[in-house]
Structure 1
């Protein structure tokens, strides 16, 4: 009996009752992480990755455990072993799920799956034995595979499968066709035409390297003639086929649950690493963040909005990165500046990095030192809803109240373009009330606003501005920098759009 070991995602096999809490309803959508996670999961729906993405953790042991596995997978040879392990395990599992109508064919098919499983376990075990592993997760998988491979249960499965496979390989028979009838018999002195037939038609075979797996995959079911031949073989070699059927009954549940779980968790790492690779054309850098539950000083270097970077990579364009920093007593990044200048993107970036960090994943930045939050809360602008019969301001206030009731001193909060439907005085009053409550709570976060005075509320609030090209303030750079808000660039852009600049007015008057 194997002792309870870690899994690839958890330092101790998780109890569902101790898993991290699910994110607030709006968080993933507001941060566009729902799109990111859907892209990562595409083609792998069977693994239900959403269950992993929906379980952020504020446990540094869990996060560190995953960081170690990612660090091990930076070694190309180790990554190849894990890729083969996942591919082989998936092939066996897919084969076992195949529904075959003929019981004799199903027995033979099952035997092949069991033999493939034994080969896969041996290959993965040997591969991990040779790998320079440092992580507890991969070392425990290596030890578990080694113990399983040495177990009497596995050895019996492998030996019996090998014996039956050899027995089937040794079967020789002759098929006679005459007057529309087929008979099968033991071979006599008849010449074997198989070699000459194969040689004759070799030039019509598929070119070397052509993968016809997709075509063969649809040909698993036997036709009527093949089924008839198989059953005549069963009568000709009754003991062998009876043993194959008995093998199926005896080992029907041979695939251990921990092995299935290891395949799923390993696939999760591989899919995320592949996603990281796809974003490199956009210039995205990746790092395992330094995390703390006590130190609230934060520093992000060359961070990118991962959802936007995914779009940029698809268009072969570079993603603009930004640097962010909070030094206590600073808690809130108050971002102002012209519209379409990168304010919302920066707010999303801040939330994304904290959420991805709480999943134990590499984050899209060159460097990142972050506080590990208990949750990420978001408050983004919503369109008025006819169904709720409530005004936009009322809805914003209700959602803000719910957020503030749930947020703790260990939370990250993101307020984006809040109270834009009110007057300037009301937006300031409401915004100041919210900011002071966030500050009193002790949470960290971002507040995107069109009210410059909010960026100067007190020492806990840091003013940042989206910038424009110094040569032409109508051109957005999408760079957000620490700067005192003055509203001049925004005002100039509005004046220009309405032809109300000094030059425009002077020309009109003249």
Structure 2
């Protein structure tokens, strides 16, 4: 029985709330890249299902934030990573034992695995006893480790393992080799001549010599001769090997279920912490956001797109940070401006921040307050799919209709340049109707668009504009700022692209 979960306040919530399917919006928001990088080095734990389902209660978010705060303490982090490494070694021994052919060797590897296990648990309990925690999750771990290590089952496991190991260590035997036969005998106090031989030949030592000895591969499995020797030894000392056999039978299920679940769950935190600290080391900030559903005031300071930041840093480029805020009646960001100016990146950032915050994790930036949504929807432009026999405009309408049917006032919708395949007049009409429905739902939304008129549709909308270098309209700053949309920056960039600015026309037209 699992007594606690480090991911959820309720101990039985863990496995039942894992999600195997990738959320539909992951690719649009580049969350697939982010989660892929986070989990890349921890493949054996299958962490993706933990990242595929966000939380729906503020207390659950707070629970994870508490644990992450504690894990940022180096002493606890080091202790848990050591514990994880030891359990990895234990699992490797069990895996190897299952592959071995000879039963006695299998039992020896099993004994080694149990020793690795109880030593790891004892060390963890001792480390936890020296530390103080603020999180409910770590306090529960400490209490469980204390109770478990002091319990009868664990004490019996340790005592039996030590007794089996001591009995094996007490065995002494001799091998008498004659020609191609050998005999295994009990040790009868025969003299060890190795020291005398070494002393006799010491006087002939003339200095370091080249070592011509062949190095043999130390394979885990025994050869048939080693197995035969071991079989003869077991017949000479039947009580010892009977004791080992009984130990293996009685302790097959020695692994504590709660600690086994914890060992996997805590990797959710350490994987993200490793990823986060790598970016911190390159000068990027993370913060613990306030997350709730009491009101829809949201903001973030000096935030950025995680996937883009990772890519640019690897290229030695700098990261542009942005701010955003919605308060009072404000619900919808209408993001406009020139192409390739950071509009889509801004929309993705808004989605990434809310998703990570709803996982109970720190987010990019130095301060943030974010909304605890019930569902997150993303509508990004896609290529036509001939399999559904729909044109691009029809496909856009079908997808946005499905989103609006599933959305509630507690949802978030992120739309990126839809209806680009139709005329400006039709795009304005369709975009207005959709935003009117979003306004009625009173949900949070980011809408990236080339239609400036949508920014003035309602008093719930906020205009955000991607900016350009004032003296060079073709150069993007990638800063997205809060200001009225006027279309001038887009017009200037187009004029520059097609060389129809004033000085271009003066050069091309006769005076």
Give 2:35's match in structure 1, choosing from 34, 37, 48.
37
Structure 1: which 5+ runs fail to align?
A: 206-214
Q: Which residue of 1 aligns with 2:314?
A: 314
- Residues 281 and 313 of structure 1 are in contact (CA less than 8 Å); yes or no, is this contact kept in structure 2? no
Alignment of 1:33-432 (within 5 A): 33-98=31-96, 99=98, 100-187=100-187, 188-191=189-192, 193=194, 219-280=219-280, 282-432=282-432
Cα distance per residue 1:219-256 (max 9 Å; x no partner): 22222232222212212221111111111111111112
How many angstroms apart in 1 are the aligned matches of 2:196 and 2:26? 61
Aligned equivalents of 2:227 and 2:37: distance in 1? Answer: 43
How far the C-alpha of 1:410 sits from its partner, in A, is 0.5
Once the two structures are overlaid, the 10-residue window that deviates more, 81-90 or 145-154, is 81-90
User: How big is the shift at 1:501?
Assistant: 1.0
Q: CA RMSD in A?
A: 2.5
Q: TM-score, normalised by structure 1?
A: 0.92
1:498 matched to 2:501? The reply is no
Output the CA distance in 2 between the equivalents of 1:316 and 1:493. 27
Q: Deviations over 1:404-456 (max 9, x none)?
A: 11111001110001111111111111111111111110110200000011112
CA pair 53-436 structure 1, distance change in 2 beyond 3 A = same
Q: What CA distance in whole angstroms lies between the structure 2 residues aligned with 1:22 and 1:316? A: 35
TM-superposed CA distance for 1:63, in Å, is 0.7
CA shift digits 1:50-88 (9 cap, x unpaired): 211122112111111111100111211111111112212
Q: 1:483 to 1:48 in 2, by over 3 A?
A: same
For residues 260-319 of structure 1, give each alpha carbon's deviation from its aligned partner in whole angstroms, at most 9, with x where no partner exists: 101001111111111112223553211111011112111101111111122123223332
Does structure 1 retain, via aligned residues, the 8 Å contact 2:4–2:140? yes
| 1:154 to partner: Cα distance | 0.6
Whole-Å separation in 2 of the counterparts to 1:490 and 1:414: 22
Write the distance in 2 (CA, Å) between the matches of 1:281 and 1:82: 22
1:11 corresponds to which residue?
9
**How far apart are residue 21 of structure 1 and its match?**
7.9
Alignment of 1:436-455 (within 5 A): 436-455=436-455
Aligned residue for 1:10, secondary structure, equals coil
Which is higher, the Rg of structure 1 or of structure 2?
Answer: 2
1:210 aligns with none
Residue 8 to residue 16, structure 1, CA distance change in 2 (3 Å): closer
How much does 1:361 deviate? 1.1
Unaligned runs of 5+ residues in structure 2 are 203-207, 211-215
Aligned to 1:212: none
The alpha-carbon distance between structure 1 residues 70 and 120, as it changes in their structure 2 partners (threshold 3 A), is same
SS at match of 2:386: coil
Asked if the contact 2:19–2:49 (Cα under 8 Å) also holds between the matched residues in 1, the reply is: no
Query: How many residues in Structure 1 have an aligned counterpart in Structure 2?
Result: 497
Q: How many Å separate the matches in 1 of 2:304 and 2:481?
A: 14
The farther-off stretch of 363-372 and 173-182 is 173-182
TM-superposed CA distance for 1:195, in Å, is: 11
TM-score, normalised by the number of residues in structure 2: 0.92
Q: How far does the alpha carbon of each residue in 1:305-343 deviate from its partner, in whole angstroms, 9 at most, with x for none?
A: 111122123223332111111112110111001111111
Whole-angstrom distance in 2 between the partners of 1:195 and 1:439: 95
**Which of 102-111 and 169-178 deviates more?**
169-178
Distance 1:262 1:279, change over 3 A: same
> Separation in 1 of the partners of 2:124 and 2:341?
50
Superposition deviation, residue 13 in structure 1: 1.1
